[in-house]
Amino acid sequence: MEKIARIVLTGSESTGKTELARALAAHYRTAWAGEYVRDYLDAKGSALDAGDVEPIARGQMAREDSALSASPREFVILDTDLFSTVIYACHYYGSCPEWIERAARERRADLYLLLDVDAPWTPDPQRDRGERREEMHALFRDALEAAGARVVVIRGGWEERRARAIEAIDALKALLS
């Protein structure tokens, strides 16, 4: 079986990652995996703490692996990955378990679509960094750069974001074929 490429939508809160991930999966008729931490937090029913980092990482990996095995195409769309877990663990708790950092590097995606913070902030009970989105965006950008990841920044209105993401995915497909 050929390797299935991973395309990850990543970045700060409230930048349209989930909506764009769904739209891209529909456009390409491929599998996608949602962000595990949102479901985990809903199920937990209370604030996260450092003890939640490892179960969140395991859940995210399982969700990604499930999408990979279900993908009818040469790639899968992921609404975040372990780099998000690492970035947020370090941001909130000052560190991240080494095995998660290692797994993030080992599972590095083929393409990261880094959504810019130029989208309007949409509050919801799980979001708490509206005033720090630029700082968070920089953390994502720097972590992906340090990992040597292929990154395309996605900005603008919804249609511009969608078109730029499709352009980036088509370029990756051409590169891989």
Query: The whole model's pTM is what?
Result: 0.91
Tell me, what's the pLDDT at 123? 58
Instruction: Calculate Rg over the CA atoms of the chain.
Output: 15
What one-character DSSP code corresponds to residue 24? Answer: H
Domain tally, the chain: 1
The tokens 């790639």 sit on which residue? 75
To the nearest 10°, report the CA torsion of 164, 18, 73, 143: 70
Are the C-beta atoms of residues 48 and 41 closer than 8 Å to each other? yes
- The one-letter code for the residue type at 88 is Y
End-to-end Cα spacing for the chain: 15
pLDDT tens series, the chain, 177 aa:
468 999 999 998 778 899 999 999 999 999 999 999 989 988 988 888 999 999 999 999 999 999 999 887 889 999 999 999 999 999 989 999 999 999 999 999 999 999 999 876 665 554 466 567 888 899 999 999 999 999 999 999 999 999 999 999 999 999 988
Tell me, what's the pLDDT at 1? 41
Tell me, what's the pLDDT at 131? 66
Could you tell me the CATH number of the domain that includes residue 149? 3.40.50.300
**Residue-range definition of the domain harbouring residue 169:** 5-176
Question: Which secondary structure element, helix H or strand E, spans residue 53, and what is its range?
Answer: helix 53-70
3-class secondary structure, 3:
coil
